[in-house]
Amino acid sequence: MTSITELVDKYERFRRNVLNLQASENYTCSHVRMALGSDLASRYAHIMPDGTNAYGGTQFTDQIYSETQETIKKLYGAKYAEIRPLGGHIAAEISLLCSVKKGGTIMAIDEIHGGYTGYMKGYLPEMFGFRSEIIPYIPETQEIDYDALNRDAMKIKPDAIVLGQSFFVKHYDLKRIREICDASGSKLLYDGSHVMGLIAGKRFQPDAMKYSDILFGSTHKSFFGPQGGILLTNDEKIYSDASFNTVWRTMDNYQPNRIAALGIAAQDLLSFGEEYATKVMLNSHNLGRALEEKGISVRNAPWYSESHQILLSQENTAKYGTFLDISKKLEKNDMICDREGRLGTSEVTRLGFSDMDRIAGAVSDAIKGKDVRKEVVEILRVSGVRFCK
């Protein structure tokens, strides 16, 4: 039997010595980790429908909860925040349960265009008993086909139009979609899982709260908190429905260590979010440009990305192998990315990097088969966590 403690130790050493370019991940600061590993980790807290806690010994836990909730509300300028969901997916479940009746319909972006697989037929729609239709999308410009959406929505009259993508590089014309939703009697749901940190920094889709009925998503992607989900709305009825659909329906207790960690990360985003988001977005654009200059083709030239991720082009596969092969080549050289052709800049930005030419050099050399492990060690030598108190 291998000791799990030893494996965790090995894992920690491994992660300290790799450059992480995974778009779905981020780096948590020592305060967030302290909260996650605190005594709160094995405790209960359970806010009952009347607002009281079902457990004793929770006076500080309750204070942490309400401070975190207030900070999240301030961060997004939202009247109400449900901060308990255990992940972006649970927040999506809650949002859908609040908006779509059994036998109803949603429209979402197809997974072939970077939409979230959970909204495709066999997953949440089948589980909750509603239909899922596709939002018309133009991959060449990474834009929704608004005229076609208007036409389809007026025909389908969906309960909800669900925006957001896992391969997410461009904002939407939300004012236009709001008008379509109003005309078709649909709720506007915005799944910001990937971009919650950038929205908090008011750089990506700063009008998300203004036009959406619900803005929800993960707290660990561009939002540099612990794994979890949040749900925001300005509508009192939606908020009370969301709370109803949280406890005993999509989950039970909310893991109070996680909420403490979320609050710490949210306070940091409140202080540093704008600078962080600005740098993340600049780094993405520069990484895309630099990779292209070095012969690795990146989608959406010449702008590449408005977010924290860039998308490698399928054209690379003929020369350098599949996205899985590319990911494995990077991993051999102590760089981590997913196996779907996304490269993310949230974590490198958080660790203080701005020289994307240098990172692109290491990435492209590794993809071309060179051994760049020494260069990666040199790159990592200058890193240090930023944007935390």
Ligand X SMILES: *Cc1c(COP(=O)(O)O)cnc(C)c1O
The rounded distance, in Å, linking the Cα atoms of 66 and 217 is: 20
CB 92 within 8 A of CB 153: no
Q: How far apart are CA 98 and CA 104, in angstroms?
A: 12
Angle at 51 between CA 50 and CA 55, to 5 degrees: 105
* 159 belongs to the binding site for ligand X (CB under 6 A): no
Residue 251 interacting with ligand X (CB under 6 A): no
Nearer to ligand X, 96 or 296 (CB): 96
Nearer to ligand X, 218 or 364 (CB): 218
Collapse the DSSP code of 215 into the 3-class scheme (helix H, G, I; strand E, B; otherwise coil) and give the result.
strand
- By CB under 6 A, tell whether 206 contacts ligand X: no
Q: Does 88 bind ligand X (CB under 6 A)?
A: yes
Smallest gap from residue 12 Cβ to ligand X (A) = 22
Q: Which stretch binds ligand X (CB under 6 A): 5-13, 64-72, 123-131, 189-197?
A: 189-197
* 171 lies in the binding site for ligand X (CB under 6 A): no
Restricting to residues 255-314, name those near ligand X by CB under 6 A.
none
Secondary structure of residue 214 in the 3-state scheme: strand
Provide the mask over 110-149, with x wherever binding to ligand X is found by CB under 6 A and - wherever it is not.
Answer: ------x-x-------------------------------
Q: Are 256 and 67 in contact (CB under 8 A)?
A: no
Measured at CB, which residue is nearest to ligand X?
88
Give the contact letters, 311-350, x = binds to ligand X (CB under 6 A), - = no: ----------------------------------------
- Which residue stretch of 59-67, 190-198, 242-250, 340-348 sits at the interface with ligand X (rule: CB under 6 A)? 190-198
**In sequence order, what are the residues at sequence separation of 6 or more whose Cβ sits closer than 8 angstroms to the Cβ of residue 70?**
none
CA–CA separation, 227 and 32 (whole Å): 11
**In the complex, minimum distance from the CB of residue 225 to ligand X, in angstroms, rounded to a whole number:** 11
Reported as half-sphere exposure (CB side, CA atoms, 13 A), residue 125 has a value of 21
Distance, in Å, from the CA atom of 216 to the CA atom of 76, rounded to the nearest integer, reads 11
- Closest separation in Å from C-beta 213 to ligand X: 17
We find the least distance from the C-beta atom of residue 310 to ligand X, in angstroms, to be: 16
Q: Are strands 187-191 and 214-218 parallel, antiparallel or unpaired?
A: parallel
Q: Report the alpha-carbon distance of residue 203 to residue 107 in Å, rounded.
A: 26
Q: Which of 21, 61, 89, 187 binds ligand X (CB under 6 A)?
A: 89
Residue pair 266/75 in contact by the 8 Å Cβ criterion = yes
Stretch near ligand X under the rule CB under 6 A, chosen from 81-89, 170-178, 267-275, 356-364: 81-89
In the complex with ligand X, which residue's Cβ is closer, 195 or 359? 195
Residue 142 C-beta: closest distance to ligand X, Å: 15
- Under a CB-based contact definition with an 8 Å cutoff, are residues 265 and 257 in contact? no
3-state helix vs strand vs coil in the chain, percent to 5: 45, 15, 40
Minimum distance from CB of 280 to ligand X (Å)? Answer: 16
Q: Is 25 in the site for ligand X (CB under 6 A)?
A: no
For 52, other C-beta atoms within 10 Å of its C-beta total 11
Residues contributing to the site for ligand X (CB under 6 A):
24, 87-89, 92, 116, 118, 164-166, 191, 193-194, 218, 229
